[in-house]
Amino acid sequence: MPERPRFVAVVGAGLAGLRAVESLLRSGLDCQILVLGDEPHLPYSRPPLSKDLLAADFEVTPFKLPVSDQVVWRTASRVASADLGSRRLLLDDGTPVDYDGLVVATGVRARRLPLPGPEPLTLRTVEDALALKERAVGARTALIVGGGVLGCELASMLTDAGIAVQVVVGPDEVPMQAVLGATLATELRRRHEERGTVFHTDCAVLGYTDSGAWLSDGTEVRADLVVETVGSVPNTEWLAGNGLDLAGGLLCADDLGVEGASRVVGCGDVIRFPSRRYDGRLVRVEHWTFASESGRHAGRTLAAQLGADAPATAFDPLPTFWTDQLGVRLQGLGLPGLGAADHRVLDGAIAEAPVLGYHHQDALVGVVLLDRPEAVGSYRALL
């Protein structure tokens, strides 16, 4: 009597979950796949939410889905809890879902500051983007809380739209310092300030008001539009109680099998994994190329665990990211933040189109290029 098809649950209907589905289908595994997404949308591209939001032709770009009767997509379906020992999920409407294999691709949500006053906007989902776009219409002033890459990307976009922007940087002295190091971060701050952006350092937000926010240095900032960009929180609460390491993201092995669970893999923003490239250091990456690459690899690993002829291998990609600000493109390779304390200009002038190298224990661990697309390939080879 032939074996029944394996039943695979994919929790998370973003890019990582989609790539895992495609990988499972390519593996030749006899399976049925149920994809559960808590948003009311099928998978869509997230980078345009921050990069193209205020463009006149902005629209949400859905990904092409595989045409297969092996896959069922269920949106607006949140998983409330999981019993990994029994291989059972429980949806928030009380529906149980039993599985043979599980893909964890639940991503992250925007971190919120526990402050009094009206809740500010954030930017993570389509609904967030549309709300921000609506509020930006007619706005003259904006306050961005958080001086990371996303906050500065939004500052650039809002400035382009003629909105006067102020940014509360946070714990660092200059925006984006944790990722880019002080030299390049200071140069980018100078360029933002030339465009009129005002940065608040050495202070924090104490609370929000209907017209802006109060800062710890006594400043009242008035703004028509307030946005928090203070990081993210991995969506792992539904996995609690299963003995997993969820501190700072779901811990996976180097093949993306979840540590402490059988027939469970993880992919995308939600996971941490040991990178052989960086001496086994646990890393968590929040960029779309990583979501795509890790989704494919996790699908192959799970297929092998379920009996497909797909050898399990270590996952060790070169992290990459990019951001468009101030009319230029900044591209990052590797882990610049790991070497932010030891960064050196490798080529060009810092005030023009430089290339910076980031070193950890004298080893090159990351490169950042400012408007140098022709040089990306050669520096990628170095890493």
126-228 belongs to which CATH class? alpha beta
Q: Is the pLDDT of residue 187 over 50?
A: yes
Within 13 A of 261's CA, how many CA atoms are on the CB side? 31
Q: How confident is the model at residue 47 (pLDDT cuts 50, 70, 90)?
A: confident
Q: Is the pLDDT of residue 245 over 50?
A: yes
Largest CA distance in the chain: 76
Read off the DSSP letter of residue 17.
Answer: H
Q: Is the pLDDT of residue 311 over 90?
A: no
- Which DSSP helix (H) or strand (E) runs through 288? helix 288-305
Read off the DSSP letter of residue 375.
Answer: G
Cβ pair 281, 260 in contact under 8 A: no
Query: Mean pLDDT throughout 170-187?
Result: 91
- Which DSSP helix (H) or strand (E) runs through 25? helix 15-26
- Residue whose C-alpha is closest to residue 31's, from 309, 306, 297: 306
The reported pTM is: 0.94
- Tokens describing residue 36: 């559960």
Would you identify the CATH topology of the domain 6-53+62-110+233-305?
A: FAD/NAD(P)-binding domain (3.50.50)
pLDDT for 54: 78
C-alpha–C-alpha distance, residues 238 and 75, integer Å: 17
- Tokens describing residue 332: 């990052």
Close Cβ partners of 96 (under 8 Å, ≥ 6 residues apart):
88, 89, 90
Q: Is the pLDDT of residue 3 over 90?
A: no
Q: Is the pLDDT of residue 38 over 80?
A: yes
Q: How confident is the model at residue 263 (pLDDT cuts 50, 70, 90)?
A: very high
Q: Is the pLDDT of residue 227 over 50?
A: yes
Q: One-letter amino acid identity for 46?
A: R
The domain locations on the chain are 6-53+62-110+233-305, 126-228, 327-382
C-alpha–C-alpha distance, residues 75 and 83, integer Å: 21
- Identical fold for domains 6-53+62-110+233-305 and 126-228, yes or no, is yes
Give the three-class secondary structure for 169: coil
Q: Is the pLDDT of residue 1 over 90?
A: no
The residues that bridge with 143 in the sheet, in sequence order, are 166, 226
